[in-house]
Amino acid sequence: MEQKIEFICEWRTGKYTIMELCRSFEISRPTAYKIIHRFEKMGYDGLLGKSRIPKSHPNETDQQVINGILELKEKHRLWGAKKIRKLLFNDFSADIIPSVVTVHNILKKNGLVSPQKRLRRVKPIHPIFDPKECNEVWSADYKGKFLMGNKKYCHPLTIADSKSRFVFTAKGHYKENLQSAKTEFTRVFRKYGLPKQIHTDNGSPFGSVAAIQRFTRLSYWFIELGIMPVFSDPAHPEQNGRHERMHRDLKASCAKPSAYDLKAQQRRLNRFVKEYNHVRPHEALAMETPASVHSFSTRPFPEKTPNFDYDPEMRVLKVTKNGSMRWGAYNWVYLSASLQGKYVGALEMGNGIWRVFYRNVFLGYFNENELRTKEKSVRLETNLV
């Protein structure tokens, strides 16, 4: 810019010819005449460099599509370019919808992309249960509690299908207890049917690390319904990563900020479930929604607990109030307080070793010889020593 101004100043003195000025400033004659023409037309402002960006482009995104992208982002602030682009197909023809990169650039240009923290690269962890069909495995958990406006805690219980990611419920409770969980599971079972397995962590009321096979009263109710309870390893929530990922979206949508009371909070949870199932595209489902992939279970919920007949070769015993079963006249085998009042079956393996079942689910072993020699009660073991 300084050289252009100096060139004009020298030219305006009239002391030098164009050839002499071109030789002095080492420019061509066309460039010299171009600078002079811009100065005569626009003054010194004409000497500023002009942008080389074309005013129009044959592949430029249609303004209506850009407006649609911005409107969808305004409505779904937590969604990225992939999900926003998927929804564009509902309103525009496929030939004018831009790529994911272009959608991202449009959002970034309008200040709608938040910078993400660089995460440390870690070895990928895969879920320990990878179902091949819907209703093979459901996952359930209490999402971490959060404080509402009335200074009371909300504990959302979430239940989802592990294959389709379909969320059956996100029910807010004041406490994480058996009665609250069982009531909501009953409602979901009546509406959607029964799965083959339910995958949870080891927290109350789902599991207990100290209990035999980690089963709780809720676990034994599942077994009575023909559902097998399965658990993540202790302190490894990443083994149910797809459910934890859903919890992250739920927290961002419903708990930041939270509502004033549980009734208002439940409305937010219901809106999240509806959007998550029917509107939000899911990358693991090839950008389809969970509702479009999920199918109802063909196993209906029995209003009355089905009876179970043990094998005739088994010895059937009742678990007392202290969680033990009487063995002989004086000896006791401790199982679990969660089994009190229920009947278990013991099957002899030989050499005094017995296997104990609740219905068709194996619980553990005990050694009859140890009872006879030591004349004391023993605890059921999950492994033979």
Environment class of residue 280 by beta-carbon count within 10 Å: exposed (0-12), middle (13-18) or buried (19+)? buried
Q: Is residue 53 part of a domain?
A: no
- Non-local (6+) Cβ contacts of 75 within 8 A are none
> Region 264-282: what's the mean pLDDT?
95
Give the pLDDT of residue 264: 96
> Residue 385 CB: number of other CB atoms within 10 A?
5
Q: Model confidence at 107, in pLDDT bands (50, 70, 90)? A: confident
- Non-local (6+) Cβ contacts of 130 within 8 A are none
3-state SS class at 204: coil
Q: Is residue 117 part of a domain?
A: no
The reply to whether 188 and 246 lie within a common domain is yes
82-103 per-position pLDDT tens digit: 888 888 888 888 888 889 889 8
Q: Is the pLDDT of residue 56 over 70?
A: no
Separation between Cα atoms, residue 170 and residue 190, nearest integer Å? 16
Q: Model confidence at 275, in pLDDT bands (50, 70, 90)? A: very high
143-164 per-position pLDDT tens digit: 989 999 999 999 999 999 999 9
> Region 336-361: what's the mean pLDDT?
93
Instruction: Give the number of residues written for the chain.
Output: 385
The reply to whether 326 and 272 lie within a common domain is no
* CA contacts within 13 A on the Cβ side of 245: 13
Q: Could you tell me what percent of the chain has a pLDDT over 70?
A: 91
Handedness of CA 251, 257, 263, 267 (dihedral sign): negative
Q: Which residue has the higher pLDDT, 369 or 357?
A: 357
Q: Is residue 128 part of a domain?
A: no
Strands 343-350 vs 353-358: parallel, antiparallel or unpaired: antiparallel
Separation between Cα atoms, residue 34 and residue 23, nearest integer Å? 16
Average pLDDT taken over every residue of the chain: 88
The CATH number of the domain holding residue 182 is 3.30.420.10
Look-up of token digits 């599971």:
185
163-182 per-position pLDDT tens digit: 999 999 999 999 999 999 99
The reply to whether 240 and 175 lie within a common domain is yes
Separation between Cα atoms, residue 371 and residue 377, nearest integer Å? 7
Q: Is residue 299 part of a domain?
A: no
Lowest-confidence pick of 78-82, 175-179, 303-307, 323-327: 78-82
Q: Could you tell me what percent of the chain has a pLDDT over 90?
A: 51
The reply to whether 71 and 36 lie within a common domain is no
Tell me the backbone φ, ψ of residue 360, rounded to 5 degrees: -105, 15
Q: Is the pLDDT of residue 23 over 50?
A: yes
The reply to whether 75 and 20 lie within a common domain is no
Look-up of token digits 């209906």:
300
Q: Is the pLDDT of residue 385 over 70?
A: no
Q: Is residue 131 part of a domain?
A: no
116-133 per-position pLDDT tens digit: 655 455 444 444 567 899
> Region 262-289: what's the mean pLDDT?
94
What are the C-alpha distances in Å from 308 to residues 175, 305, 313?
Answer: 33, 9, 15
Q: Is the pLDDT of residue 245 over 80?
A: yes
Structure tokens at 114: 């938040």
The reply to whether 354 and 251 lie within a common domain is no
180-212 per-position pLDDT tens digit: 999 999 999 999 999 999 999 999 999 998 899
Strands 228-231 vs 343-350: parallel, antiparallel or unpaired: unpaired
> Region 63-86: what's the mean pLDDT?
86
The reply to whether 94 and 200 lie within a common domain is no
Give the pLDDT of residue 45: 74
Q: Is residue 121 part of a domain?
A: no
Q: Is residue 126 part of a domain?
A: no
The reply to whether 202 and 329 lie within a common domain is no
The reply to whether 142 and 268 lie within a common domain is yes
**What value, to the nearest 5°, has the Cα angle with vertex 200 and ends 195 and 203?**
145
User: pTM score, two decimals?
Assistant: 0.76
The reply to whether 202 and 282 lie within a common domain is yes
Separation between Cα atoms, residue 212 and residue 335, nearest integer Å? 7
Handedness of CA 30, 35, 36, 40 (dihedral sign): positive
Give the pLDDT of residue 52: 63
The reply to whether 208 and 167 lie within a common domain is yes
Domain count, the chain: 4
Give the pLDDT of residue 123: 45
Domain that holds residue 7: 2-47
The reply to whether 193 and 328 lie within a common domain is no
3-state SS class at 327: strand
Nearest in space to 145 (alpha carbons), one of 179, 168, 174: 174
Give the pLDDT of residue 215: 95
Q: Is residue 169 part of a domain?
A: yes
Which amino acid belongs to residue 372?
A: R
